[in-house]
């Protein structure tokens, strides 16, 4: 009987993570608090097991990566690898930079998946008023991400074209347990953080999915 | 004589205008045919795999696509399978999902198709069965101890 149970548990542990979750897509970078003028590799990742990227989406699906910072908005070009697309970028303006990317197949009207990452460069102000793009489906924090301490929480709304929407939110830390929340349209949802490191937040409304990557704790402490 | 010459020149002029057009132009025509094989690709939740890349492989040619294309908004794609044998159809959404189907084509046409890479549904079934077995096992262990 014990062997029987062991086999059943083993099968369940192999099967459950794959069958119960859809593919996520996210931005990744070694550090989301880079210094001014330092080269960064921004990666477009996808898979089931954040932070490990399992595949690179096709170029025709990828779309353009936009970065909006204090100096304005620009486009990034990418190179495709086996398991990720990579964009090399150097940011010269201190402050909040928002990276965003909408994935959709040619012929579709609405994006299938929208990626977003918040990067705070150098000693610039981490102003949460800069977090919202107002375009498409996005997860918007309402407090400075750099001020989020390990174990603290971060209030967020899921917004579609600038308006809060109701949906499920999933929070996947690079280290730690996945948590699920229900986002409403009134009060922001307070997502709990644990260890320092990067966090992936995902949400979906209908067939559209979105993700946000932010980092708890600056390497080297608070600026 | 002048009249004949004028008439001949006029005829030659008209012929010069019309003959090249008649020779070089191609007429086009569309018609509906009740032939071919239509597949429908969907995700596990039933939503269609819209605007996805399709590759169709002939029997015996697994490395070279016989025809490629894109699914419609409702996840459909059709083609004509002329050769008998096992045809393979791949539908790739470009975002990490791949549906693969084998279709047996006989003298009477397609006689059946079966998804060969619908992992999600298989894994869900395995998960369900495993959970049931696991719970039963825990119940028996609990009963034996008491």
Mean pLDDT throughout B79-88? Answer: 92
Q: Which DSSP symbol is given to A77?
A: -
Buried b (16+ CB within 10 A) or exposed e, A188-213: bbebebbebebbbbbbbbeebbbbbb
Contacts of A9 in chain B (CB under 8 A): 130, 134
Of B95, B126, B133, the CB nearest to A46: B95
B22 touches chain A (CB under 8 A): no
Q: Which helix (H) or strand (E) holds B126?
A: helix B119-145
DSSP A186-209: SSPEEEE--SSEEEEEEEEETTEE
Of B51, B129, B141, the CB nearest to A108: B51
Q: Which two tokens stand for residue A180?
A: 């699920």
- Residue A25 and residue B119: Cβ atoms within 8 Å? no
- Residue B130 and residue A9: Cβ atoms within 8 Å? yes
Closest-approach residue (CA) in chain A for B136: A5
Preferred mutation among A5, A7, A18, A26 to probe B, highest tally of B CBs within 10 A: A5
Q: How many CB atoms lie within 10 A of CB A46?
A: 23
Q: What residues form DSSP beta bridges with A203?
A: A169, A210
The predicted structure's pLDDT at residue A162: 96
- Residue A105 and residue B134: Cβ atoms within 8 Å? no
Q: Taking 70 as the threshold, does the pLDDT of residue B115 lie above it?
A: no
The predicted structure's pLDDT at residue B4: 81
The predicted structure's pLDDT at residue A4: 58
pLDDT band of residue B123 (cuts 50, 70, 90) is: low
The predicted structure's pLDDT at residue B8: 81
The predicted structure's pLDDT at residue B146: 65
pLDDT band of residue B40 (cuts 50, 70, 90) is: very high
Sequence-distant (≥ 6) Cβ neighbours of residue A115 within 8 angstroms: A25, A26, A27, A44, A99, A100, A101, A102, A103, A210, A211, A213
pLDDT tens string, chain A, 223 residues long: the values are: 566 555 555 555 444 443 344 689 999 999 999 999 999 999 999 999 999 999 999 999 999 999 999 999 999 999 999 999 999 999 999 999 999 999 999 989 999 999 999 999 999 999 999 999 999 999 999 999 999 999 999 999 999 999 999 999 999 999 999 999 999 999 999 999 999 999 999 999 998 999 999 999 876 555 4
User: For residues B68 and B54, is the Cβ–Cβ distance under 8 A?
Assistant: yes
The predicted structure's pLDDT at residue B1: 58
Contacts of A58 in chain B (CB under 8 A): 53, 92, 94-95
User: For residues A210 and A158, is the Cβ–Cβ distance under 8 A?
Assistant: yes
The predicted structure's pLDDT at residue A19: 38
Question: Whats the size of chain A, residue-wise?
Answer: 223
Residue for token digits 């719970």? Answer: B135
Per CATH, which fold does B37-115 belong to?
A: Immunoglobulin-like (2.60.40)
Pick the closest to residue A144 from A15, A8, A32, A24 (CA basis): A32
Calpha distance B109→B81 (Å, rounded): 8
pLDDT band of residue B114 (cuts 50, 70, 90) is: low
Going from N- to C-terminal start, the domains of chain B cover 37-115, 118-146
- Which conformational region is residue B138 in: left (phi greater than 0), alpha (psi within -120 to 50 degrees), or beta? alpha
B5 versus B84: the higher-pLDDT residue is B84
Residues 42-101 of B with CB under 8 A from A: 47, 50-53, 70, 73, 92-97
Calpha distance B113→B103 (Å, rounded): 4
Beta strands A208-216 and A113-121, pairing class: parallel
- Residue B140 and residue A1: Cβ atoms within 8 Å? yes
CATH 1.20.1090.10 assigned to A23-216: no
- Residue A105 and residue B141: Cβ atoms within 8 Å? no
Mean pLDDT throughout B43-65? Answer: 93
Q: What residues form DSSP beta bridges with A171?
A: A179, A201
The predicted structure's pLDDT at residue A53: 95
Tell me the per-residue pLDDT of A161-193, one tens digit each, with 9 for 90 and over.
Answer: 999 999 999 999 999 999 999 999 999 999 999
Among the ranges given (A103-117, A124-138, B93-107, B115-129), the one the predictor scored with the smallest mean pLDDT: B115-129
What's the Cα-to-Cα distance from A81 to each of A58, A67, B115, B126, rounded to whole Å?
11, 21, 29, 33
A80 touches chain B (CB under 8 A): no
Contacts of A102 in chain B (CB under 8 A): none
């Amino acid at each position: 009987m014990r062997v029987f149970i062991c086999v059943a548990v083993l099968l369940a542990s192999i099967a459950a993570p794959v069958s119960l979750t859809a593919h996520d897509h996210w931005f990744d970078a070694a550090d989301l608090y880079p210094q001014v003028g330092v080269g960064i590799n921004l990666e477009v990742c996808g898979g089931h097991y954040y932070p490990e990227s399992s595949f690179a989406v096709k170029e025709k699906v990828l779309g353009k990566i936009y970065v909006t910072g204090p100096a304005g908005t620009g486009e990034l070009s990418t190179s495709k690898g086996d398991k990720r697309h990579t964009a090399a970028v150097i940011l010269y303006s201190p402050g909040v930079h928002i990276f965003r990317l909408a994935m959709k197949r040619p012929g579709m009207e609405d994006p299938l998946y929208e990626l977003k990452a918040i990067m705070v460069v150098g000693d610039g102000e981490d102003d949460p008023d800069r977090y919202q793009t107002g375009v498409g489906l996005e997860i918007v924090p309402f407090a400075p991400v750099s001020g989020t301490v390990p174990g603290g929480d971060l209030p967020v709304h899921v917004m579609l074209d600038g308006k809060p929407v109701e949906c499920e939110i999933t929070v996947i830390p690079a280290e730690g347990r996945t948590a699920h929340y229900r986002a409403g349209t009134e009060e922001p949802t307070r997502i709990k953080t644990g260890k320092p490191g990067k966090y992936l937040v995902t949400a979906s409304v209908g067939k559209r999915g979105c993700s946000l990557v932010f980092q708890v704790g600056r390497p080297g402490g608070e600026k | 004589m002048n009249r004949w010459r004028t008439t001949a020149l006029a005829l030659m002029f008209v012929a010069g205008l019309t003959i090249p057009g008649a020779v070089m132009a191609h007429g086009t025509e569309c018609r509906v045919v009740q032939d071919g094989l239509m597949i429908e690709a969907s995700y596990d939740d039933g939503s269609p795999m819209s605007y996805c890349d399709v590759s169709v492989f002939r029997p015996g040619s697994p490395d070279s696509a016989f025809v490629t294309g894109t699914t419609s908004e409702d996840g459909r794609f059709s083609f004509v399978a002329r050769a008998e044998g096992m045809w393979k159809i791949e539908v790739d959404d470009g975002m990490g999902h791949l549906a693969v189907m084998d279709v047996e084509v006989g003298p009477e046409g397609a006689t059946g198709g079966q998804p060969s890479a619908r992992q999600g549904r298989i894994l869900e079934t395995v998960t369900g069965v495993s959970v049931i077995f696991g719970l039963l096992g825990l119940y028996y262990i609990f009963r034996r101890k008491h």
